[in-house]
Structure 1
Amino acid sequence: MTATATNNLSVPELPHTLPAEQLVKSLAVDAKSGLTGDEANRRLEQYGPNALQEAKRESAWSIAVRQFNSVIVWILAAAAIISFLLGETVEGWAIIAVILINAITGFVLEFNASQSMDALRKMDTNPARVWRDGRVHEISSEDVTLGDILMVEAGDLVAADASLLEANQLQVDESALTGESLPVEKATAPTAEDAPLGDQHNRLFKGTAVTGGNGRAVITGIGQQTELGKIATMVEQAERTATPLEAKLDSLSKVLIWVTVGLAGLFLIVGLIRGEEVRQLIETSIALAIAAIPEGMSVVATIALAYGMLRLAEKKVIVKRLSAVETLGGTNVIFTDKTGTLTQNRIEVHTIQLPDARADVDVQAADQTLNVTNGDTQIIESDVYQQLVLAGVLANNADYNPHDTDTKEVGDPVEVALLKFAYAAGQDPDIIREQYPREAEKPFSSDTRMMGTLHRTDNRYVVAVKGAVEEIMDRCPDMDEALQQKQRDMSEQMAADGLRTLAFAYREIDEKPGDDFADSNLTYLGLIGFLDPPRTEVTPALESCREAGIKVIMVTGDHPATALTIARQVHLIEPGEDIALTGRDLKPLDQLTDADRERLMACRVFARVSPTQKLDMIDLYQQQGDIVGMTGDGVNDAPALKKSDIGIAMGQRGTQVAAETAAMVLKDDSFTSIVTAIGQGRVIFENIRKFILFLLSCNMSEIFVVTFAGFLNVGTPLLPLQILFINIITDVFPALALGVGRENSELMKQPPRDPKQPILSRNDWGVIVFYAFVITVAVLGVYLFGTRQLGLSEGVGNSITFYALSFAQLMHVFNLYSGKGHFFKNEITRNRYIWLALLTCIAIMFLTYYVPFLREVLSIQPMQAAPLELIIAAGVVPVIIVQVVRTLTGWGR
């Protein structure tokens, strides 16, 4: 046993393993009177306040700067500088405008930075009651220090980590820290050295809520040294990795950079060898650079993702970071919590075990119906069953009113479940309590592990008792050994099935008994098993995940038997599968053998897992190249939510910490919403892929036009400013229409794309070159025909090329349909935004010809009717060629 020594104070590293007397001695404090005021001030000065360190927040300036940290932006900036140096100021300002539009759009949509540490600090502002100088003082939670004797009672938030000196029916809700769905009963006895947080019953943890009873505890950890503080440190240190879309677009940008530099350099070298004018060569090289870079790609990607965000918001999914939309679409592994995500986060009566009958039941309190789903259907007709319902209402301090929406449920969740059970069984607890007024109560304690109440009715007295099965049976003398053993076996089986069990007994007497009314001569009634029922919609959602090739893994702080039961009920695992690993089974990531890794990868259910172990599991899958989604609701989930590729927080029951750490928040806490978001993410990725195919094939056609014309020495068919105009106007609108398509009927029936593959496959690049070549041949064909056969001037030929290429690229959008359906009826022709984009772009093309300012800037020359026919032919012919090739070969789909 090691400890941290500070002057005369020794703080144990494993306080849960030590008895209270030893802890008090090591912390140099009087358990009865507490610290003196002077000593408390000295320790506060020495150890600092009981507050979490504030994380560095990303400033608006750093977010803005990041928008310009892109190789594409750098090349465009270089092109703008060269344009200014050459005196082409309009061209230079146009390029700068493109850069600023991209940057402003990205900045506005990314300004919601993570506020995780602020949310954690808000949990520190509650008052605390401590013993000092022999009296109780109420102070700020930030002013408590090591060795303080902390007083807690129902309704308090625990101010710091502490070990219990005294516990009176003390129950604490630790779900935000451990994931345990039920309040934990606390005791003073030390626990095992390797006990996880959820099993350290002699400890209180900062940020958890006291739901019942009271107690005294000595503080053993403050600030960053608390379990909450350790999690806060992990949240701060867990780095957000680049999302798959960001990485793929960055990789694509690098390819485009090499293409740009290579073509521009080659063109410049060849031109110098041929003795051409240097200025003209530089301007043409700039034109190539502008042509090679799809300036609208960032804007279109951003808007497509933002549009996906709006659609998901309509489905109760709030996405905080744009790229998270697409990331979820590529997710192939999901770590999901159990409580509230796969289950309904409400305790219900699930199993009834009478001495001679058993049944599983479905409780519908609001409808006052109870159906036997398995077992003896006649059980609800027996007298013992009616007495069991009665005992559950009488030995109960909760309140449940199905008609009151504000205070519908008050009290212990198990006791509320018993009242719902009574309603479903056709009984009204309020009427029962009027008929059986309470005379006395023997409250639950960790020593007796039972609760009893005494009631009077019709000059008789009724005793109702509930508690641990062993304690109840010891007080029932009429039970023979065989029946006792049967009930013990059934209780163990119910616990193995993940049920929390309580035994019930009663007694009727004529005279009022003494204080020991619940200690003897009871009549045994049976057992009730409680379960947090699964969500009905989860099973088909998990089936959709299987069809989509997504692996779903349950990670919970609950009991492993409970986790396995829910996993079977929602069909997360196969009926015969019974493997559930706990935190004790998991080694640190750097200590795993190949056999350990294989064992972990095969398991689908993990229970009693610590925050550090969640990080290791996510890291294990990410090392394999998987895209990992993580759901969570508690403080303990925050580091894993940040570490995962896509963190998904619960909006209804989740903590503020989890919601602000995650990239996405589910307003309805439903796993089905995750599946919906995955489908939407796949649609968005497919849309992004389509508009990138469109933009790159259009840009490559511009490269081919400029390059082929230069090598053939047939003039300059396109000017740099014309190329820039095409890229940011007539290309962007159709690309944007492609980016907001809605169709996804087949995407969720396909396996997830390989996360290791780039955004464009080798086949996609072949298709891009094919599309670009066909458009280039058509456009250069009409340029050469106009200048050589019709005798048009080079200026008019340049104008023809500008409009011919613009129209050809607009018509090219019809080549981007997936192959489902036919040319006149598919996802492209059914997309109304496509038609709106085409009409808008055609209108803009007319403006460039008829508005003098635009004509001058773009160097447009007057044209006659013949060039118009050439322009239309340049747009229609490539579409015909592409469709013929697709029909004959199937290539290009």
Structure 2
Amino acid sequence: MSATPRQNSIEEPGKLAITDLKTGLSSQEAALRTEQFGLNELEQVKPESIWSILLRQVNSVIVWILAAAAIVSFFIGDTLEGFAVIAVILINAMTGFILEYNARQSMEALRKLDTTPARVLRDGKIKEVPSDQLTMGDILILEAGDLIPADARILEVNQLTVDESALTGESVPSQKSTDPSAEDTPLGDRHDWLFKGTAITNGNAKALVTKIGQSTELGKIATMVSEAKRTATPLEAKLDALGKVLIWVTLGMATLFLIVGFLRGQEIKQLIETAVALAIAAIPEGMSVVATVALAYGMLRLAEKKVIVKRLSAVETLGGTNVIFTDKTGTLTQNKIEVQTLRVAGNDFTIRLDTNNEGARKLEVIKGDQELIHSPDFEMLSRIGALVNNAQLDSKKSDRKELGDPVEVALLVYARASGIDLHKLHKDYKRQAEQAFSSDTRMMATLDLVGTDYFIGVKGAVEEVSALCNWDNPEDRNRELEISEAMAADGLRTLAFAYRQTDRKPGENFTNDEKLTYAGLIGFLDPPRKEVIKSLNACHEAGIKVIMVTGDHPATSLKIAKQVNLIGPEEQLVITGKELESFDFSSADDQNKMIQCHVFARVNPAQKLDMIDFYQKQGDIVGMTGDGVNDAPALKKSDIGIAMGLRGTAVAAEAADMVLKDDSFASIVLAIEQGRVIFENIRKFIVFLLSCNMSEIFVVTFAGFLNVGSPLLPLQILFINIITDVFPALALGVGKDNKKLMKSPPRDPKQPILQMADWKRIVFYALVMTISVLGVYWYAINQLGLSPEEGNTITFYALSLAQLLHVFNLYSGKLRFFSNEVTRNKFIWMALVLCILIMFATNYIPFFRQILSLQIIDINSLKLILAAGIVPVLVIQAVRILYPIK
């Protein structure tokens, strides 16, 4: 049944008017309007350039210090050292560049939505034109299966339902009509509008194009995606803050050393060389490389679990996340309508449809009398739902292939699960007539011939269907109306069912010939995903706040939130998008209400951005999950955007930092755990690297102040930093998982990567190694009478060995020295073997010995080196026994 076309209610930008609703625009007029208003396409955002990605890899304080050290080295003639430092910078930059290169286009997926052809009425004929050639004033001709190419006002409609979940987040298809909606009506309730990028699931329509390209709702979202700016990730910010600390330490030590040396009358070139050595010693050159490799290793681990990380630092960011905004449809739910609640012959049932090992659906009664599902009344309700239906399922037992309105598909799935043979049913019941659903009648009815009898089935709104039925008591009908309202308030979409069987052929208006028999009510719901409850419980245990943000109905959102244990059974607080419009985020009351609420409904994309911004300003690290076009801006704005790969749109996937290929919320928990492990590993190897580097600073500085010579040369320090330090640090960075990390709250995002206790340990570790190494150096020079060159060689190898063995001091907590996460890490042992072989190579291969200015070591020197390397471990372990680390 078609509604009468109306022109007087159409409000277009620029007050456009077409000349004739029956013939549409002329080709000439369409061309003029295309020239005036442009093509119906989204603006192309220039992707991040290759040079921009590369520049980001070298734009850090640590790199600047190294570059300055290289320049000074060239200036004073130490070209070998200068080139060595530059090589370190380039290796780190290329590693990060290669791993981030594939994430530079965030808007291309939006443009892919513009490739669908469109059918329009032009010159009095239906023509197919490219969607980018549509213009304002065109009349669209739309049918089931079409992707809507522009925003349009409905002129005529016939049983039209549209899947708008990607745009609004509402899982139930929207039924469309020509009834005008108010200007402030939420997007999901504008039943007289069609929106670009949504899909027609049933019926057909004519509609007048009123918005194209960037002015459409999809275009507005595209603009928000391009305008949503990513902030520096927590790890990037923390490493940058650490780099600033190191630069002041470097400048302070170098300046102090230069002043003292100048006052002593030392040679300027020697002072500068020593200052460069201090700068190189202060900077852990391998830190950026190790952090990059640790994150990349985490990426590979997650990829094996079907979690694709697009931005390297996103792995660690998720580990620090303490607030997660999650969409409802497709994330917490299956994005698939199912029968959930039934009312038959005065009895209420709650059912669940489970899939068995063969793929067939099995009906399980959760609430209600199990025996009554075998009653004739229950069977009749199932039969009506299958007959008054135009959807299709495949002929197999599985329900995976389906066609038609999702609610009608749900009725067929439910009927099959209740024991009805759909093939036999449609063979026995031969359809004779149909009264299609319309916004006027709010019902659908079918007339079937079964044997010599006629069967009339009706489904629709409870008010209209119950009015056609025979009631013994008017109170009975009122009771059904009240129950239907209660089900709707509980987040369910309800349909009532009625029937009549007669041996007389009904008239054309067969639903009104005689009173019908009321069969019952069915409530539909998008069921929650099974694994979500366990995953949310894990988030709660890990101290992560999970907030549902959806465009769906408030009651539906609240019900799902309770079903998945997102909130408690008694909690009723839901904030809608309309309420958010009046919020003052500077008000303490509104802030408290925001923080207390875990369910936000009827929220538009712009409000999602405001909510994320609110929590980010509170100092939280915000994660956002989603799968629809409407989620894309929030995915990009959040600290870590997580898109669903199976059900999600390409737009969401491109805007996100991570994509879950299995759409499993459980994968988020896995990624959080992996992120926490990576951060702990990064913290651990930074403590290792800084304690090693500080020992180098102390060795050079103390030797200079004591005027006992130069025990280490700049190139020797650089060699230690990029070889004998980096490999053990890498092994620490790829350490195994620590399940205990998910039993505690996330770390405070406001705190630096290293706490005061970490700095105390770093200084202590460095002092112990320094005293041991300088003691050996002093003994070799003053007691054994070795030359400065031989003393320098002993110092180089002694410090290298002390730093290599220092890795065994980095285990966590109160674990035993011979059984902990370090000693069980096979990569640690591989790194030690490799580094020891490299140390032998530097002494026995003349080329390396000459570059590093080393002397061949003898047995006595080897004893001193072993003593200097082992003593720090013994001292540190003794202190750990007396003062254990918590």
Q: Is TM-score (shorter-chain normalized) higher than 0.5?
A: yes
Of 196, 199, 210, the match for 1:206: 196
Task: Give 3-state SS (helix, strand or coil) of 1:778's partner.
Answer: helix
* Deviation, structure 1 residue 600: 1.3
Maintained 8 Å contact 2:250/2:282: yes
Of 762, 773, 785, the match for 1:779: 773
* Deviation, structure 1 residue 449: 1.1
Distance 1:84 1:467 in 2: 84
Identify the residue that residue 296 of structure 2 maps to in structure 1. Answer: 306
Of 799, 804, 808, the match for 2:802: 808
* Deviation, structure 1 residue 479: 5.0
* Deviation, structure 1 residue 761: 0.7
Identify the residue that residue 575 of structure 1 maps to in structure 2. Answer: 569
Distance 1:377 1:493 in 2: 23
Task: Give 3-state SS (helix, strand or coil) of 1:360's partner.
Answer: strand
Maintained 8 Å contact 2:471/2:477: no
More displaced, 34-43 or 549-558? Answer: 34-43
Identify the residue that residue 471 of structure 1 maps to in structure 2. Answer: 464
Task: Give 3-state SS (helix, strand or coil) of 2:103's partner.
Answer: coil
Identify the residue that residue 188 of structure 1 maps to in structure 2. Answer: 178
1:241-274, Cα deviation, whole Å (9 max, x unpaired)? 1000000000001111111111111111111110
RMSD in angstroms over aligned alpha carbons? Answer: 1.6
Distance 2:399 2:533 in 1: 31
Of 696, 714, 719, the match for 2:713: 719
* Deviation, structure 1 residue 136: 2.1
- TM-score if structure 1 supplies the norm length? 0.96
Distance 2:668 2:622 in 1: 13
1:475-520, Cα deviation, whole Å (9 max, x unpaired)? 1123531111111111111111111111111110102212212334
For 2:9, give the aligned amino acid: Q
Unaligned stretches of 5+ residues in structure 1:
1-17
Maintained 8 Å contact 2:9/2:180: no
Task: Give 3-state SS (helix, strand or coil) of 1:576's partner.
Answer: coil
Distance 1:838 1:482 in 2: 84
Distance 1:835 1:518 in 2: 82
Maintained 8 Å contact 1:114/1:661: no
More displaced, 644-653 or 818-827? Answer: 818-827
* Deviation, structure 1 residue 368: 5.0
1:320-366, Cα deviation, whole Å (9 max, x unpaired)? 00100000000000000111211122221111101321111122364
For 2:121, give the aligned amino acid: W
Task: Give 3-state SS (helix, strand or coil) of 1:746's partner.
Answer: helix
The 1:482/1:405 distance shift into structure 2, 3 A limit, reads closer
Distance 1:23 1:534 in 2: 39
Maintained 8 Å contact 1:364/1:424: no
Does 1:220 find its partner at 2:210? yes
Of 469, 475, 483, the match for 1:482: 475
* Deviation, structure 1 residue 569: 0.8
Identify the residue that residue 319 of structure 1 maps to in structure 2. Answer: 309
Distance 1:513 1:248 in 2: 78
Does 1:748 find its partner at 2:712? no
Maintained 8 Å contact 2:814/2:884: no
More displaced, 875-884 or 86-95? Answer: 86-95
Distance 2:868 2:602 in 1: 67
Distance 2:489 2:399 in 1: 36
Maintained 8 Å contact 1:19/1:189: no
Identify the residue that residue 278 of structure 2 maps to in structure 1. Answer: 288
Distance 2:56 2:529 in 1: 42
Of 841, 848, 867, the match for 1:873: 867
Distance 1:510 1:391 in 2: 18
Of 434, 452, 455, the match for 2:448: 455
* Deviation, structure 1 residue 20: 4.1
Does 1:840 find its partner at 2:829? no
Distance 1:283 1:551 in 2: 53
The 1:71/1:369 distance shift into structure 2, 3 A limit, reads closer
Identify the residue that residue 70 of structure 1 maps to in structure 2. Answer: 60
Of 147, 151, 161, the match for 1:161: 151
Identify the residue that residue 162 of structure 2 maps to in structure 1. Answer: 172
The 1:592/1:791 distance shift into structure 2, 3 A limit, reads closer
For 1:355, give the aligned amino acid: A
Alignment of 1:580-659 (within 5 A): 580-587=574-581, 592-659=586-653
Of 83, 87, 91, the match for 1:97: 87
* Deviation, structure 1 residue 192: 2.2
* Deviation, structure 1 residue 596: 1.4
* Deviation, structure 1 residue 65: 2.2
Maintained 8 Å contact 1:172/1:184: yes
Distance 2:827 2:392 in 1: 55
Identify the residue that residue 28 of structure 1 maps to in structure 2. Answer: 17
For 2:132, give the aligned amino acid: E
Identify the residue that residue 412 of structure 2 maps to in structure 1. Answer: 419
Identify the residue that residue 6 of structure 1 maps to in structure 2. Answer: none
Maintained 8 Å contact 2:393/2:399: no
Identify the residue that residue 15 of structure 1 maps to in structure 2. Answer: none
Of 116, 133, 136, the match for 2:126: 136
Does 1:387 find its partner at 2:410? no
Maintained 8 Å contact 2:360/2:399: no
Identify the residue that residue 13 of structure 1 maps to in structure 2. Answer: none
* Deviation, structure 1 residue 422: 1.7
For 1:390, give the aligned amino acid: R
Task: Give 3-state SS (helix, strand or coil) of 2:370's partner.
Answer: coil
Identify the residue that residue 700 of structure 2 maps to in structure 1. Answer: 706
Distance 1:533 1:121 in 2: 32
The 1:593/1:735 distance shift into structure 2, 3 A limit, reads same
1:127-179, Cα deviation, whole Å (9 max, x unpaired)? 11222232222211111111222221112111111111111111111111111
Distance 2:139 2:831 in 1: 70
Does 1:341 find its partner at 2:331? yes
Does 1:817 find its partner at 2:816? no
Does 1:108 find its partner at 2:98? yes
Task: Give 3-state SS (helix, strand or coil) of 1:23's partner.
Answer: coil
Task: Give 3-state SS (helix, strand or coil) of 1:776's partner.
Answer: helix
Alignment of 1:261-280 (within 5 A): 261-280=251-270
The 1:132/1:367 distance shift into structure 2, 3 A limit, reads closer
Maintained 8 Å contact 2:653/2:659: yes
Identify the residue that residue 665 of structure 2 maps to in structure 1. Answer: 671
1:742-778, Cα deviation, whole Å (9 max, x unpaired)? 2212100111100000000111111100000000000
Identify the residue that residue 351 of structure 2 maps to in structure 1. Answer: 361
Of 232, 241, 260, the match for 2:231: 241
Task: Give 3-state SS (helix, strand or coil) of 1:54's partner.
Answer: coil
For 2:495, give the aligned amino acid: L
What percent of counterpart residues are identical? 65
Identify the residue that residue 783 of structure 2 maps to in structure 1. Answer: 789
Task: Give 3-state SS (helix, strand or coil) of 1:195's partner.
Answer: coil
Does 1:43 find its partner at 2:36? no
Of 141, 145, 165, the match for 2:135: 145
* Deviation, structure 1 residue 425: 1.3
Identify the residue that residue 187 of structure 2 maps to in structure 1. Answer: 197
More displaced, 508-517 or 571-580? Answer: 508-517
Does 1:56 find its partner at 2:56? no
Maintained 8 Å contact 1:20/1:188: no
Distance 1:28 1:532 in 2: 41
Task: Give 3-state SS (helix, strand or coil) of 2:126's partner.
Answer: strand
Distance 1:63 1:776 in 2: 40
Distance 2:667 2:410 in 1: 27
Does 1:513 find its partner at 2:513? no
Task: Give 3-state SS (helix, strand or coil) of 2:118's partner.
Answer: strand
More displaced, 270-279 or 457-466? Answer: 457-466
Task: Give 3-state SS (helix, strand or coil) of 1:112's partner.
Answer: helix
Unaligned stretches of 5+ residues in structure 2:
none
Maintained 8 Å contact 2:165/2:329: no
Distance 2:443 2:345 in 1: 19
More displaced, 701-710 or 417-426? Answer: 417-426
Distance 1:38 1:381 in 2: 66
* Deviation, structure 1 residue 795: 0.6
Distance 2:477 2:582 in 1: 44
Distance 2:495 2:198 in 1: 25
Distance 1:389 1:261 in 2: 81
Maintained 8 Å contact 1:469/1:488: yes
